[in-house]
């Protein structure tokens, strides 16, 4: 199995799909490499592409603020990345072909990290990592446990929370459920 540095090196040099033509930076992921909790979005946006870091724009700042309320901090106790590591032009959804080309890197990250909990940020990540017909408005905040034993939940994407602040109370409730699950199944996060 790869180690983190080898995997990161391969990913940073990747040109397996057309997103390599338009990206500024590959956005590999951020956070401690022994975190028990992993957040996964769909792909980098403009700020992320420019800085090479995941979730650093306005949406990312909102996410960090909300997560700090349940004592989660990306420098300390969670890892964050995306399904595709390069920005889709104009922030469109990543195509299935792009997701298929890139998903192997995420699978290797999951193998290395061995998270106890995966939180999908938005419908596209949930459709890929929980079930294809995932309905974010109905199924956010619900727990799913697939055959690998990892607990999985989806919350609204931070960009959706910026567009529609009425969704925020639901997300606070989901985060309280996440905090309870962390206390139940994680040993080092808090």
In 3D space, the residue among 185, 134, 118, 126 whose CA is nearest the CA of residue 157 turns out to be 126
Find the part of the chain contacting ligand SF4 (CB under 6 A) among 11-19, 49-57, 65-73, 119-127: 11-19
| Window 90-119: residues binding ligand SF4 (CB under 6 A) | 98, 101-102
State the minimum distance, in angstroms, from the CB of residue 57 to ligand SF4: 18
Among 14, 72, 113, 155, binds ligand SF4 (CB under 6 A): 14
Q: Do 101 and 17 meet the contact criterion of CB atoms below 8 Å apart?
A: yes
H or E segment to which residue 41 belongs: strand 37-41
Residue 77's Cβ-side half-sphere holds a number of Cα atoms within 13 Å equal to 14
Nearer to ligand SF4, 63 or 101 (CB): 101
DSSP state of 150: -
In 3D space, the residue among 80, 105, 101, 98 whose CA is nearest the CA of residue 157 turns out to be 80
State the minimum distance, in angstroms, from the CB of residue 8 to ligand SF4: 11
Binding flag, residue 17, ligand SF4 (CB under 6 A): yes
Q: Take residue 156 and report the two structure tokens written for it.
A: 């609204």
Instruction: Give me the sign of the Cα torsion angle 157, 161, 167, 172.
Output: positive
State the minimum distance, in angstroms, from the CB of residue 44 to ligand SF4: 9
State the minimum distance, in angstroms, from the CB of residue 123 to ligand SF4: 19
Binding flag, residue 27, ligand SF4 (CB under 6 A): no
Binding site for ligand SF4 (CB under 6 A): 11, 14-17, 19-20, 26, 84-86, 98, 101-102
């Amino acid at each position: 199995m790869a180690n983190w540095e080898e995997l990161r090196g391969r990913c940073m040099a990747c040109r397996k799909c057309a997103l390599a033509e338009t990206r500024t930076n590959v956005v590999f992921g951020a956070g401690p490499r022994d975190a028990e909790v992993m957040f996964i979005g769909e792909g980098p946006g403009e700020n992320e592409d420019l800085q090479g870091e995941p979730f650093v724009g306005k949406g990312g700042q909102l996410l960090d603020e909300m997560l700090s309320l349940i004592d989660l901090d990306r420098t300390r106790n969670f890892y964050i990345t995306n399904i595709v590591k390069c920005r889709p032009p104009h922030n469109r959804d990543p195509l299935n072909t792009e997701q298929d080309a890139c998903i192997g890197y995420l699978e290797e990250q999951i193998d290395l990290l061995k998270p106890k909990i995966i939180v999908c940020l938005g419908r596209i990540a949930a459709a890929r990592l929980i079930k294809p017909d995932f309905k974010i408005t109905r199924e956010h905040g619900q727990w799913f446990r697939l055959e690998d034993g990892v607990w999985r939940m989806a919350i609204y994407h931070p960009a959706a929370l910026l567009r529609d602040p009425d969704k925020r109370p639901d997300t606070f409730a989901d985060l309280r459920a996440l905090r309870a699950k962390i206390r139940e199944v994680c040993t080092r996060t808090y």
